[in-house]
Structure 1
Amino acid sequence: MRSYDYTPNPGTHWMHSHVPVQEMNLLAAPLIVRSAADVAADRQEVVMFLHDFSFRPAEEVLAEITGSAAGRDMSTMGTAGKADTGMSGMDMSGGDMSGMDMSGMAMGGMAMDLNDFNFDAYLANDRTLSDPEVVAVEKGGRVRLRIINAAAATTFWIDTGLPARLVAVDGHAIVPISGTRFGMAMAQRLDIEIDLPGDGAFPVLALREGARERTGLILATTGAQISKIEGMSDAETPAFDTDLAQELLLQAANPLAARPVDRSHMIMLAGSMQPYMWTIDGQTWGTHKPIIATSGERVALTFRNMSMMGHPMHLHGHAFQVVNINGKAVNGAMRDTVYVPAMAMVTVALDAGEAARWMLHCHHMPHLSTGMMTEFAVSA
């Protein structure tokens, strides 16, 4: 047992194992920190926790996806502000290729890879649409949805059905954006507010990108008739934010203070489906070269994706601001996980924090399992 003493940051967060097979076995939970304003607000809060799930052993699924390329020893990250994923010794044997989803979408004449695997179920709060959670809400009330994509390898579109406002991402407030459909990659979070129009049942759906599967929950007033919703939609949903159009709309409500950049790093993301291998700066964990900074420095990290699959890049121990998208300067959102689509480039800025070795990795679990991780090494 370990104890931690820290000042909590208000927002929608989550906690989970960083051993891929354990996260694939749903070893994860929401972590919601409410501010005084949240507690006082006249609204109802609803958490929506998304997963992908297979009835087969996670080790078998991962071995099938990766062609047994998974299982790199990431245990040398250590402890106390570092990371110890303990991935050595995992059994990655077994499995044919029957579950693999090798589908893609065309992008400039090249095939873009979307989904590695067809999971048996897509879950919202551990339930499918065959028996969804029904959340009791007040007639005409305001609801704040705190949505967490805890899936191992699935990006979702959130369809609210009703007019809604996106008010925060990754636990950080943004200038509100109106809409009915918002996307989220693995490990990202969305806070969405909805003003209910009156009596009724109001589904909130999570649609798997590039496919027909969906999951969700239902907001319902007392006595509302609830109709069955099929787990398959009529048509496939599009790929998520291939041109970063959604990310371009996001503006931080509380951006970083303006100051010169002290240090810049270009971080190259690469890999392929066959052989299944994903790298950062041409290396996998164990042969990686740390990305260095000194505590207090303003650091710019530019992620350049040279592969045909998107990568949700997550940095531990820090929040960063998106400041450039494909060469266009932006006053973007504060985040801890930024999605970098195929052949795209995103720059984030941050102030280097506590002196420690912080994990920087792709939050697509099969990619992580093959070693798509490095460290952000901060010195005093």
Structure 2
Amino acid sequence: MGYLSRRHFLASTAAAGMLGAVPSLLISGQPALAMPTTTIRVGTRVIEVNGRPATVFGLTQPDGSHGLITEAKKSFRVRLENQLDEETLIHWHGLTPPWQQDGVPDLSQAPLGPGQAYDYDFPLNLPGTNWMHSHHGLQEQRLMAAPLIVRDPAEAGADIQDIVVLFHDFTFRDPDEILAELKGPSVPTGGMDHSAMGHGAAAMSTGPHLQDVVYDAFLANDRTLDDPEVFRVERGGRLRLRLINGATATNFWLDLGQLDGRLIAVDGMPVEPVTGRHFEFAIAQRLDIVLELPQSEGAWPVFAVQEGERSRTGFILATPSGAVQRLAGEAPDAVDPIGLALERRLRAAQSLAPREPDRRHAVTITEAPGYVWMLNGASHGDHAPLDVRAGERVEITFEDRTTMAHPMHLHGHHFQVVAINGERFAGAIRDTVLVPSRGNVTIAFEANNPGKWALHCHHLYHMASGMMTTLEYSS
């Protein structure tokens, strides 16, 4: 896919240094170096999936690099150019820009028309594994997404190899056709249980279910396990996997196979390390996992397995002489649904300061016939914004009364998970949390970024069917 490598990043940084001095910004009391403007072009590209060509979207720099790698304490200076024949707009998922630069059509910005461009410029306060994706219509389903990695300058020169992988669920079908089918008159409350029936056939859903869209393939950096990406690594090397679940409607289990990993960050935010080989991985979430490889030659596959199923994708870590073997596109056995077992174990490396909330909001998640998904009884457009004031500590409790789990994402802020089903704890700081069917999750955050912010389910078809509200600051 042409993702930026560390070598490319260092070379481009050195080249930027030869362009002359750039005015600095003040970030958290520290002078921040402003980068020259990077151009990201929204266009199309052709990939191969299951032996067939597929035209998908791309977010590429002029040199072909897909996405962006930069550093914290610099400014995010990006010129977004729309080279499509349709409108678009890109959201910088995980960043906390001024709200007018958040990339949500008709909330923070107007969509970019064909041939139009927009210049973004705001400080990058925090390092982390983030991503960029369309927030316009169903474009994200056609792979309008890319990594957005903000490295920590304090880690420059560290003896560790960065590996960035973006996962997708892929369909050859028109996403608008899929959504129309989900909304069709034969669809019962909760949509279709396609895991059993397939498109066009309805199955009554009286209990929790996992999928409502059937996919042709699952991708890791645009590739299936028929032709996986092979990352060459050193014997005994240290790796940092920066993994992004860019799927539109699929939760995964991340399977490290024979390797033991240390999970050190979620959604770009550090956590107390958790060691394991299997990690729950909800839509829009990110996992940073450190690996210490054996001293021997070898090849180690890493899989993302669709929850409740056997279908999987992945990539391979291989030493120069490591023998790469063909991998099956299905796991030997179906995996469990993902839940909140990992979430309950996570602890933020630095929690919010102890403080009683100044404001509490309750957000109920409900569904209605015709594939209608609602927050607090209303679809987006008919919603009542959640009111906050600058300086407040805010808690939001999500209560899911539906047949599916929902990955809830708050723009413009990082929040701490502070309760699951009423049980309080100081959990991870992140920007997307899975709310289980018939369960509830409470988050807390500092209202420190005034504006109008989207709050929504990151399952694309749920959001497109009404499951979005806003958080708005009042004076």
Using the size of structure 2 for normalisation, the TM-score is 0.70
Q: Distance in 2 between matches of 1:281 and 1:232?
A: 39
1:128 aligns with 2:214: no
Q: Distance in 2 between matches of 1:365 and 1:111?
A: 21
Q: Distance in 1 between matches of 2:226 and 2:341?
A: 33
Q: 1:210 to 1:104 in 2, by over 3 A?
A: farther
Q: Which amino acid aligns with 1:339?
A: L
Deviation at residue 217 of structure 1 after TM alignment: 0.3
Q: Which amino acid aligns with 2:346?
A: L
Deviation at residue 236 of structure 1 after TM alignment: 1.1
Q: Which amino acid aligns with 1:322?
A: V
Whether contact under 8 Å (2:230, 2:318) holds in the other structure is: yes
1:257 aligns with 2:353: yes
Whether contact under 8 Å (1:174, 1:250) holds in the other structure is: yes
Q: SS of the residue aligned with 2:120? A: coil
1:309 aligns with 2:404: yes
CA-to-partner distance for each residue in 1:246-278, whole Å, 9 max, x for gaps? 111000001112222100001101115x53111
Match of 2:381 in 1: 286
1:31 aligns with 2:127: no
Deviation at residue 112 of structure 1 after TM alignment: 1.1
**Aligned partner (choices 133, 145, 151) of residue 16 of structure 1:** 133
Q: What count of residue pairs does the alignment treat as equivalent?
A: 346
**Aligned partner (choices 267, 271, 274) of residue 170 of structure 1:** 267
Whether contact under 8 Å (1:209, 1:237) holds in the other structure is: yes
**Aligned partner (choices 343, 347, 350) of residue 445 of structure 2:** 350
Unaligned stretches of 5+ in structure 1? 70-96
Q: Distance in 1 between matches of 2:291 and 2:443?
A: 30
Aligned pairs for 1:111-260 (under 5 A) are 111-161=207-257, 162-198=259-295, 199-241=297-339, 244-260=340-356
Q: Distance in 1 between matches of 2:374 and 2:330?
A: 34
Q: 1:3 to 1:270 in 2, by over 3 A?
A: same
Deviation at residue 111 of structure 1 after TM alignment: 2.2
Q: Which amino acid aligns with 2:456?
A: H
Q: Distance in 2 between matches of 1:104 and 1:177?
A: 39
Q: 1:258 to 1:213 in 2, by over 3 A?
A: same
Q: SS of the residue aligned with 1:112? A: coil
Unaligned stretches of 5+ in structure 2? 1-116, 187-196
Whether contact under 8 Å (2:413, 2:449) holds in the other structure is: no
Match of 1:338 in 2: 433
Match of 1:297 in 2: 392
Q: Which amino acid aligns with 2:298?
A: G
Aligned pairs for 1:364-379 (under 5 A) are 364-379=459-474
Deviation at residue 202 of structure 1 after TM alignment: 0.6
Q: Distance in 2 between matches of 1:133 and 1:359?
A: 35
Aligned pairs for 1:69-108 (under 5 A) are 98-99=198-199
Deviation at residue 224 of structure 1 after TM alignment: 1.0
Using the size of structure 1 for normalisation, the TM-score is 0.88
Q: Distance in 1 between matches of 2:137 and 2:276?
A: 33
1:329 aligns with 2:424: yes
Whether contact under 8 Å (2:182, 2:370) holds in the other structure is: no
Deviation at residue 184 of structure 1 after TM alignment: 1.2
Q: Distance in 2 between matches of 1:180 and 1:357?
A: 39
Whether contact under 8 Å (1:48, 1:148) holds in the other structure is: yes
Q: SS of the residue aligned with 2:177? A: helix
1:67 aligns with 2:184: yes
Match of 1:87 in 2: none
Q: Which amino acid aligns with 2:311?
A: E
Identity of aligned residues (%): 48
Q: Which amino acid aligns with 1:51?
A: H
What is the Cα-based RMSD across aligned positions, in Å? 1.8
